[in-house]
Structure 1
Amino acid sequence: MTDTTQAWGSAPSNRFDAIAIKFRGLFSEIGKNAVQHDLDRELRFVDYQALKAAGFSKLRLPEKFGGLGLTLPELFGLIIELAEADPNLTNAYRSHLGFTEDLLNAAPSPWRDAWFERIGRGETIGSGFSELGDTKLGTYSTQLTRDENGWQLNGEKYYTTGSLYADWITLGAVDGDGVPVGALVPTKAKGVEIVNDWDGFGQALTASGTARFTDVAISDDLIKPSALRFSYSGGFFQLVHLASLAGIGRAAASDLARQVAERKRVYQRSNASRFAEDPQVLQVVGRVRGAAYSAGAIVLKAAEALQAAYDANVSGDEERIAVADRNADLEISQSVTVVSNLILDASTILFDALGASAAKRSHGLDRHWRNARTITSHNPRVYHDRIVGDFAVNGTSPAPHGGVGIASHSENEKAEA
């Protein structure tokens, strides 16, 4: 079978292939075991650590701290390639990559440099922001309170993606006065319990279950100077999902092409004596591959908008920052439904080019749709479409990204007004 791996489009930079070659062998090994891990629902601790050892946790870290100093388009190019091997691992690293971005956009300080050094030593960070239940929108039930002995953390988080793999959890809480506060929590600290109870039908190996905190002692140096995230964080985290979808599309396209090439049996109504020469079958293969190509091209183009937002933040020019953040938000919102539809469609129609045997669990072809469907459920696509439409018609800039929770009566009344 012809090697078609080089036909996914232009690299995000001239140096990208020289950077990516350091990881591609590892990505290939991860991909070989992806189906079995999915079937067994076996978390990928070994592969997460192998990625860490290879420097995947340091992609955007400044070189003086031991990182690779990648641009955002280069970062997202590698995220797509890892997602092609296994999108569970891109999601497991999503919070870590976001925390690194927090640091890159923060003002210089000993606190920032201390965390750069920790990441440079290979330490990684999982997520701890989402909560279940009747938590009020825009706040947390998790509390960080202070007494004469220092800070204590109590509460429960869900969707703590990557935390079972990581050394730290970055989380949001409220202090005794209800003011939002951020902190880093060691995953092995006394009073921390992380449970692998995420039961989704896709993205099953992301360690996205429950984390409980009971009287966890938190030192002052683990309290974030600001509870705010970097200004383009909403677009950044969404684009990680879109990059994961693009990688899923590539994997689906490659799996389909291989199975068509290897298939011996043909149908009575086939158009050729060899399945691999049937033009209607080849049309389906081409459509799936075209969807994967298009999704990747869109992601890398949107990553350029994120890079512009980062560059604006570094400049300190408030007007430039506002425009760049708005543009990045819009470009990514314009991409969400298109990329989602491309990959959801591709991961469904691939079965049209194969026989009933393609549905065997051992082939693992269903995992592409299950993973894609789970990722696209994280943020409602209809909201992104509405935001884009409101800008196009009324010139309305996107509202700031918020969390998920129960709206108060006053918020409901405001929404209805």
Structure 2
Amino acid sequence: MSTSTAHRPGTVSLRDLLDRVPELTASLAVDTARREAARELPYASMDAVRASGIGGLRVPAAYGGPGASLVDLFQVVIDLSEADSNVAQALRPHFGFVEKLISDGTEAERERWFPAALAGELFGNATGETAAKHPGDIHATLAPDGGRYRLSGTKYYSTGSLFADWVVVAAKDHRDRRVRAVVPRGRPGLRLVDDWDGMGQRMTASGTTELDDVVVHPHEVVVDEAVGVRRTHLGAYHQLFLAAVETGIAKNAARDAIDYARDRARAVRHSGVEQAVQDPFVQHTVGEIAALGYGAEATVLRAAAAIDRALAGAPGEDGVAGAEPALAEAATDVAQAQVVAARAALRAAERLYDVGGASATRREFNFDRHWRNARTLVSHNPIAHKARVVGDYLLNAEAPPLTGFF
């Protein structure tokens, strides 16, 4: 468990925390292309994230946190992703856990876990199962055992867990209710396997979690009563996180295009110029790539503002944050942002090669990481479904479905 004491509740202002982000992202960006090619997992980078205190960005002021808005958070996610999209994606479960507490956590859960986030502790994920018929189906079990429980099952896509202090596991209890168990990473019976073999996001360590009769105490169990019952902002939040990481990839591709054109690219003979940076074709290409990232960033932040507005409304009678009509509209905004960000990341990654020709394909530059990373993220959810749901909302006033993917 992390023993960081650098960030006690109420000691860090939002402005101070945000001011640390440029130094953090600069450190994360050092040698990223080489480390990705060698698949060096970013343990040091995640320690830097812990030390920065940004894991507590969204903790409300009432609990001693800085109370960042979602616009603040997603700007940070974009900046992190521009430096290293693996680190940004590995933090998605952590920020999602904090967001769940904000949405519908009990007072006891908030009092227990918000201080951990403020202290720099990180939360990983063990939710998905490859044996399930549909994404989101759960077969892992939480069985009573006297005054405690036993947790068993196998998970995959365990993003961030190898770097985390706590692992959040989705399971079904003996009443067939969906529950979450929050257990320390080193607890006996919990085994994290680094077997993620995806072509992209190779350093997120999104591999297997094996659960063999893991002891779980009652205070570590949360019943997810709101899942699939009523709309919360969590589905839109998690989907916008993907779009924010894709946006960072597009911006990183723009940075590589600029650096390569300035420092490595050679002007072709028939261009009529001495340097590549003077070639109108290269200028146009760099400008297009930059515009793709710019547009995606603006779209993601606009969608984040829509969720912020929805959360500013009065909560429902069940205490869950946000009002239904505003949440449905925000979910539609997020779906549009996903279409824009996905296309921007893939297009920027492709256009990068037009800056340098065949030499840009050399392994030493590892430019293909941008497309591989973007394609892996975009593959989480079919963008065609996002566009269809938006169209249905605009044409027929049909709200996005309550599946957690909108």
- What letter corresponds to residue 328 of structure 2 in structure 1? R
Cα distance change, pair 138–17 in 1 and its aligned pair in 2 (3 A): closer
Paired with 1:53 and 1:219, the residues of 2 have a C-alpha distance of 29
Helix, strand or coil at the partner of 2:36? helix
Q: CA deviation at 1:365?
A: 1.1
Q: CA deviation at 1:171?
A: 2.1
How many residue pairs match? The answer is 389
CA-to-partner distance for each residue in 1:318-368, whole Å, 9 max, x for gaps?
996101110111001112222211221111011112121111111121111
Please name the residue that 1:12 is paired with: none
Helix, strand or coil at the partner of 2:175? coil
Paired with 2:33 and 2:61, the residues of 1 have a C-alpha distance of 35
Please name the residue that 2:7 is paired with: none
Q: CA deviation at 1:308?
A: 1.6
Please name the residue that 2:97 is paired with: 99
Helix, strand or coil at the partner of 1:391? helix
Please name the residue that 1:412 is paired with: none
Cα distance change, pair 175–277 in 1 and its aligned pair in 2 (3 A): same
Please name the residue that 1:389 is paired with: 391
Please name the residue that 1:371 is paired with: 373
Structure 1 range deviating more: 273-282 or 316-325: 316-325
Question: How do residues 140-179 of structure 1 correspond to structure 2 at under 5 angstroms?
Answer: 140-179=138-177
User: Does the CA-based 8 Å contact 1:291-1:342 persist in structure 2?
Assistant: yes
Q: CA deviation at 1:45?
A: 0.5
User: Does the CA-based 8 Å contact 1:55-1:67 persist in structure 2?
Assistant: no
Q: CA deviation at 1:123?
A: 1.7
- What letter corresponds to residue 329 of structure 2 in structure 1? N
CA-to-partner distance for each residue in 1:250-300, whole Å, 9 max, x for gaps?
111111111111236321211312211111110001000010110101011
Paired with 1:207 and 1:44, the residues of 2 have a C-alpha distance of 9
Paired with 2:314 and 2:130, the residues of 1 have a C-alpha distance of 33
Identical aligned residues as a percent: 34
Paired with 2:63 and 2:321, the residues of 1 have a C-alpha distance of 31
User: Does the CA-based 8 Å contact 1:58-1:68 persist in structure 2?
Assistant: yes
Cα distance change, pair 318–145 in 1 and its aligned pair in 2 (3 A): closer
Among residues 197, 202, 205, which one is paired with 2:200 in the alignment?
Answer: 202
Q: CA deviation at 1:312?
A: 2.5
Cα distance change, pair 228–318 in 1 and its aligned pair in 2 (3 A): closer
CA-to-partner distance for each residue in 1:179-226, whole Å, 9 max, x for gaps?
222221221100000001110111011111000100100000001153
Structure 1 range deviating more: 59-68 or 42-51: 59-68
CA-to-partner distance for each residue in 1:106-156, whole Å, 9 max, x for gaps?
355223211112222222111111101145676411000003252000001
Q: TM-score, normalised by structure 2?
A: 0.90
CA-to-partner distance for each residue in 1:151-187, whole Å, 9 max, x for gaps?
0000011111000111111122111232222221221
Among residues 44, 48, 51, which one is paired with 2:49 in the alignment?
Answer: 51
Structure 1 range deviating more: 303-312 or 136-145: 136-145
User: Does the CA-based 8 Å contact 2:78-2:247 persist in structure 1?
Assistant: yes
Question: How do residues 13-412 of structure 1 correspond to structure 2 at under 5 angstroms?
Answer: 19-63=17-61, 65-106=63-104, 109-135=107-133, 139-228=137-226, 231-263=232-264, 265-312=266-313, 314=315, 321-402=323-404
CA-to-partner distance for each residue in 1:16-71, whole Å, 9 max, x for gaps?
88653312112112101211210110110111011111112111113465532211
User: Does the CA-based 8 Å contact 2:156-2:207 persist in structure 1?
Assistant: yes
CA RMSD of aligned residues (A): 2.2
Residue segments in structure 2 that go unaligned for 5+ positions in a row: 1-12
- What letter corresponds to residue 271 of structure 1 in structure 2? G
Helix, strand or coil at the partner of 2:129? coil
- What letter corresponds to residue 215 of structure 1 in structure 2? D
Paired with 1:109 and 1:400, the residues of 2 have a C-alpha distance of 25
Helix, strand or coil at the partner of 2:290? helix
Paired with 2:330 and 2:148, the residues of 1 have a C-alpha distance of 40
Cα distance change, pair 320–115 in 1 and its aligned pair in 2 (3 A): closer
Paired with 2:176 and 2:255, the residues of 1 have a C-alpha distance of 51
Paired with 1:320 and 1:193, the residues of 2 have a C-alpha distance of 37
User: Does the CA-based 8 Å contact 1:135-1:141 persist in structure 2?
Assistant: no
Paired with 2:174 and 2:314, the residues of 1 have a C-alpha distance of 32
Cα distance change, pair 187–382 in 1 and its aligned pair in 2 (3 A): same
- What letter corresponds to residue 188 of structure 2 in structure 1? K
Helix, strand or coil at the partner of 2:192? strand
Please name the residue that 2:8 is paired with: none
Paired with 2:316 and 2:93, the residues of 1 have a C-alpha distance of 25
Paired with 1:68 and 1:36, the residues of 2 have a C-alpha distance of 35
